[in-house]
Structure 1
């Protein structure tokens, strides 16, 4: 009981410091810039980047945006802004094609926020904020077991902070807003990944889809040796399929909305079998279980820097 109490107290202290830092900006976490509030398989386009101000595109290639339609240049993974200088993504996004870590050193990565369409236009460029990465921190227990990822979470510290506005904002972490999302909670994911399992081309425009949360016992029936209660969240239309994240959406957010209209980061797009298949839900890293890990590293490296 004493150990549990100390852990809970440390989380509260770290969370308070983190929130105080975030509050220096007039922008509140988890609030979209839109007046009101679908890899995404079975999804649709949001109205604008204001609907997803916390989502970012991660890239290591020389071509940032508007690549030839047949190429997947300009986008590697998704990520989520949780602080002006910090982004959360999936640990496996930092591996190369042979699953070797790291693919490249931190300074090769670019992180761009405020993106809706990857087509280069004057209006969109004015909204984009592109930052270089100072360091990445991958969870030390991350492992890939035949495509099933465990502890699939990583942090990217940016060299310079984002400037928050209607198109670039942080999402809330679970501590400030909610516990684990329940079955059928209002949750969504978004990304620039492929929009069907057989596609080979990433989307040039951001796609979003609503993701029903599936209970742990049902998920274990499908993945009996891979899904762990504390590590993973399960989402999708279990009996019908069709809605899911897919290749190119990894690292992006599973965001859940509360009754007050605010959004929090419940999960990170991690792995699954195919895209939008029946009885094969998508698996997301359960952010709530890693919140202390996140807060400690942000606090330590922000001070160290």
Structure 2
């Protein structure tokens, strides 16, 4: 008799529209790893990013559902490029934001990656250059600045997604017009991280059909409840796992009652994909989110006075069912919740004047 596992173990709140089928793909950092590269830096340095751009039917890296940002918009946005290479879409591997004149906030997975020997290490300062003061990835635009130091969060592990935050210290302040962006403290961060709060994600990357675009793009999305995002993903994972578990229980002759108890324990022990250090943001209708190439870029919230504050850092999304690129119909992506890390940011900056 086939065991029947009703997935009421982790009930999905269907009224939200976050159907489990939208989360049935695997998690992946917000860059394309389908070429076998272990990081966005390796992907760009190897030439695979340029090669993928030539394949018209490959999912692209972009701010999905976005539009080209106006010149001068988002003046804190920067691009991380492979050091010593020409400015362009093929050598840009991550985004970032200026939080002080010489300090860039980005994702840890942008600067900490697995080398050929299988071990993880931080990128060296000379591996990176930062383009400031332009929305266009073209030679002669903006100010290309060398890096003095790289600091990833000490709790970040390259094989996981939590604590995905890093600081990059520039060798000098930019010599072109720019602005810095403020980040919220813990109390204000809790206020911002509420369902329905409007957010804007910005980044560079490829367009539909993997056609490269040098223009910065923007998309307006909203904060989604963390529990709803977790429920959707956990139900999808449980559906994927139930068949194999049923087969194992039958093969081993486990009694149905015992199998249910083991299943409950197994699901209860599974880690939630969207941790308290993350923000879930997207849309209920889908089709607007961050994607490959946007890693490390800012998720900002517009305030009543017309200014902006950076709530999140582009961290991870869902891999497309084809295994190539991101899931372009995904309802949400995950962003590092900066407000959880303000003490660490202050500590690093104070210790490295």
> TM-score category by the smaller chain?
0.7 to 0.9
Are 1:42 and 2:62 an aligned pair?
Answer: no
Cα displacement (A) at 1:299:
1.0
**2:90 is matched with which residue?**
73
**1:155 is matched with which residue?**
167
Give a deviation string over 1:117-172, Cα, whole Å, max 9, x none.
Answer: 22336xxx3xx122111110011111244xx511000000111122473xx11001
**1:53 is matched with which residue?**
75
- Aligned equivalent of 1:247, options 292, 301, 304: 292
Q: Does the 8 A contact of 2:76 with 2:180 survive in 1?
A: yes
Q: Does the 8 A contact of 1:84 with 1:161 survive in 2?
A: yes
Q: Matched residues in 1 for 2:317 and 2:186: separation?
A: 29
Q: Matched residues in 2 for 1:245 and 1:161: separation?
A: 28
Q: Matched residues in 1 for 2:128 and 2:330: separation?
A: 36
Q: Does the 8 A contact of 2:105 with 2:296 survive in 1?
A: yes
Q: Matched residues in 1 for 2:136 and 2:148: separation?
A: 26
Q: Matched residues in 2 for 1:235 and 1:160: separation?
A: 34
SS at match of 2:78: strand
Q: Does the 8 A contact of 1:243 with 1:276 survive in 2?
A: no
Q: After alignment, is 208-217 or 170-179 more displaced? A: 170-179
Q: After alignment, is 250-259 or 95-104 more displaced? A: 95-104
**2:125 is matched with which residue?**
106
**1:135 is matched with which residue?**
149
Once superposed, which parts of structure 1, at least 4 consecutive aligned residues long, lie more than 6 Å away? none
The number of residues matched between the two structures is: 246
In structure 2, do the counterparts of structure 1 residues 202 and 235 end up closer, same or farther at CA, with 3 Å as the change threshold? farther
**2:29 is matched with which residue?**
none
In structure 2, do the counterparts of structure 1 residues 46 and 193 end up closer, same or farther at CA, with 3 Å as the change threshold? same
Q: Matched residues in 2 for 1:43 and 1:298: separation?
A: 33
Cα displacement (A) at 1:219:
1.1
In structure 2, do the counterparts of structure 1 residues 235 and 202 end up closer, same or farther at CA, with 3 Å as the change threshold? farther
In structure 2, do the counterparts of structure 1 residues 119 and 107 end up closer, same or farther at CA, with 3 Å as the change threshold? closer
Give a deviation string over 1:217-254, Cα, whole Å, max 9, x none.
Answer: 1111133434344210001113x211011111000000
Runs of at least 5 residues in structure 1 that lack an aligned partner in the other structure: 1-38, 67-71
Are 1:214 and 2:228 an aligned pair?
Answer: no
Q: Matched residues in 1 for 2:300 and 2:108: separation?
A: 18
Q: Does the 8 A contact of 1:252 with 1:269 survive in 2?
A: yes
Q: After alignment, is 228-237 or 148-157 more displaced? A: 228-237
In structure 2, do the counterparts of structure 1 residues 120 and 169 end up closer, same or farther at CA, with 3 Å as the change threshold? same
Cα displacement (A) at 1:202:
4.2
Runs of at least 5 residues in structure 2 that lack an aligned partner in the other structure: 1-61, 235-270, 320-325
TM-score (norm 2): 0.64
Q: Does the 8 A contact of 1:63 with 1:73 survive in 2?
A: no
Q: Matched residues in 2 for 1:247 and 1:83: separation?
A: 26
- Aligned equivalent of 1:237, options 268, 277, 283: 283
Q: Matched residues in 1 for 2:126 and 2:210: separation?
A: 28
TM-score (norm 1): 0.74
What do you get for the CA RMSD once the two structures are aligned? Answer: 2.3
Q: Which has the higher helix share?
A: 2
Q: Matched residues in 1 for 2:301 and 2:128: separation?
A: 28
In structure 2, do the counterparts of structure 1 residues 156 and 195 end up closer, same or farther at CA, with 3 Å as the change threshold? same
Whichever of the two has the greater Rg, that structure is 2
SS at match of 1:204: strand
**1:203 is matched with which residue?**
213
SS at match of 1:151: coil
